[in-house]
Amino acid sequence: MYIQFKTVKLAKRCNNQKERIKAWGERRSAIIGRRLDDLRAADTLEDIRRLPGDCHEYRHGKDVHVFTVDLDGGWRFFFKPINDPIPLLADGASVDWSQVTAIQITDIKDPHGKNR
């Protein structure tokens, strides 16, 4: 799967082990690295459903077509499909996971707690 990052800073933090450890600690850094490897190895978002991390749509407020993958302690990757157009199922509202081949990672945070 093709992955881009919302900001250069986020890309640098995610793609460099020293930067990951500095930003999120050694344990979370290792999990982030594994999740990134999983995402990069996947052909489509559908492939991620069967892997650790409970990938699911994040339905909160105005967020539409935003997904999360669990990391640890409530922390999650947040990302969205960037295929143009976003592939939808026949209902016109749900994302067709089997057709998503490109994502943008938008954040790594704990949506219910404190972020450092």
**24-69 per-position pLDDT tens digit:** 999 999 999 999 999 999 999 999 988 888 999 988 777 789 999 9
Our CA angle for 81, 112, 34, nearest 5°, is: 50
What value does the mean pLDDT of the chain take?
A: 92
Which DSSP letter does residue 52 get?
T
Which helix (DSSP H) or strand (DSSP E) does residue 68 occupy? strand 67-70
Taking the domains of the chain in order of start, what are their residue ranges? 2-109
Amino acid at 79: F
User: What integer pLDDT is reported at residue 59 of this predicted model?
Assistant: 80
Write down the pTM of the prediction: 0.90
On whether the 2-109 domain is CATH 3.40.50.1820, my answer is no
User: What integer pLDDT is reported at residue 98 of this predicted model?
Assistant: 97
Closest among 50, 59, 54, 85 to 72, alpha carbons compared: 54
pLDDT at 100 over 80: yes
Contact 69, 103 (CB under 8 A): no
Our CA angle for 73, 44, 36, nearest 5°, is: 40
User: What integer pLDDT is reported at residue 114 of this predicted model?
Assistant: 61
